[in-house]
């Protein structure tokens, strides 16, 4: 099994599961026990300040809360880019990773950018591998700008276009193909 930790999973055009249709998922952990990650492109109408005020000082004023996935939808998940690698609790790639528990003041000062999610995406043992074998997901190396894009609604399309043909053609598939 090749770990997909630190990779982006881009939902393929044929993935119709409403939890993952046209999503980009950053994989935070992947091993024989399963995989976990967060959906990067599902901003909500609620702001972080409204939903999780204790984390509001880590994000831009008015920053939206993000739907991280269907698992544990009441749990806040904090993804951060730190001043340098090794300053996160759960490293994902480069200086980007997850901060857990109460974030102390000295760690807060090291946060360059942060995004707050509710819930996460999760796969049991072998589940993600089966979805990969079924071509449900496309992988891509992430950038910090992918994880913290100011335009999350267009992230799925932009990453597919960045990958070039044949993925750039897939980027034009409408969310609801019956509306084509």
pLDDT digits (tens, 9 = 90+) for 2-59: 999 999 999 997 788 889 999 999 999 999 999 999 999 999 999 999 999 999 999 9
**In the structure encoding, which two tokens stand for residue 90, read together?**
């759960």
**In Å, how far from its chain's centre is CA 85?**
19
Question: Which domains are delineated in the chain?
Answer: 8-175 (3.40.1740.10)
- Which of these, 66, 74, 76, lies nearest to 46 by C-alpha position? 66
pLDDT of residue 178: 56
Average pLDDT for residues 94-118, to the nearest whole number? 95
């Amino acid at each position: 099994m090749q770990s997909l930790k630190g990779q982006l999973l881009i939902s393929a055009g044929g993935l119709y599961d409403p939890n993952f249709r046209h999503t980009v998922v950053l994989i935070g952990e992947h091993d024989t026990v399963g995989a976990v990650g967060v959906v990067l492109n599902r901003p909500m109408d609620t702001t972080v300040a409204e939903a999780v005020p204790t984390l509001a000082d880590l994000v831009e004023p008015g920053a939206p809360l993000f739907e991280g996935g269907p698992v544990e939808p009441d749990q806040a998940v904090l993804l951060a880019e730190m001043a340098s690698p090794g300053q996160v609790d759960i490293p994902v790639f480069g200086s980007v990773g997850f901060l857990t528990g109460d974030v102390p003041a000295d760690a807060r000062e090291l946060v360059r950018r942060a995004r707050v999610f509710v819930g996460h995406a999760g796969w049991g043992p072998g589940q993600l591998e089966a979805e990969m074998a079924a071509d449900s997901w496309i992988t891509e190396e992430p950038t910090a700008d992918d994880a913290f894009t100011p335009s999350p609604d267009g992230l799925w399309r932009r990453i597919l276009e960045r990958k070039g043909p044949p993925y750039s053609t897939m980027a034009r598939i409408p969310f609801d193909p019956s509306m084509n």
